[in-house]
Amino acid sequence: MTVYTNKTGKMRLYDGTSGTPFYLELDFDAGDVSGAIGPKRPEEKPLMDRGNLTTTSVYILGPEDAYLEPIQVTFSALMGDHVPFGYLRTWIRIMNGATASINSNTIVSTKGSTTRNSVTTPAFADASKRTCDIEYLFDGVDDGIKWAEVYIGEDQAVISESAEGSTLAITAMCYGAVSEITAFTSGTSVEA
């Protein structure tokens, strides 16, 4: 039996460039990824016979708001003067409406690229918000997960300082599909 550890995982952020998307691989992530393996579902609500449990009592689906509710994904990256960390900060600014590019590459939003419950996810009310896809894969095995249409708010990227080093802890929100992957999506590194 093999036990996956934080030493065997890699994470990439992907943009929505058609054909060959740009990606940023986090070389110094802290190995603390956390996120659901599937989207939320509507709640089952009991329907009783005038408040009594009888043989005609059933469950009905509650409101479908759950299909659009985001899924929380958290991770952190070690801060330093290495290039990927600077690109990560710029990537987050772009997700929040900045017009910057990374290494002369324009980062395109992934919003509206997937479905939930067979319906294309709607656009944000705030048109300046952008999303990316996050893929997490264990090295040496064909096992991973993809969170699509993930928004990273600048207020959800928090700096924490300690004796071992400073980290940027990120709480992101996944608005798109969640799927299993066996390999990273083919793309072009923004570091190239």
Mean residue pLDDT across the chain: 91
Find how far residue 111's CA is from the centre of its chain.
12
User: Which two structure tokens, joined as six digits, stand for 27?
Assistant: 């070389």
List helix spans (H) across 10-161.
83-95
Give pLDDT tens digits for 2-43. 666 666 678 999 999 999 999 999 876 677 899 999 998 999
pLDDT tens per residue across span 103-147:
999 999 999 999 999 999 999 999 999 999 999 998 767 889 999
Interacting residues of 142 by C-beta distance below 8 A, sequence separation 6+: 182, 183
Q: Quote the DSSP letter at residue 89.
A: H
Token pair listed for 77: 């990256």
Delineate the domains of the chain, giving CATH numbers in brackets. Answer: 6-40+69-189 (2.30.110)
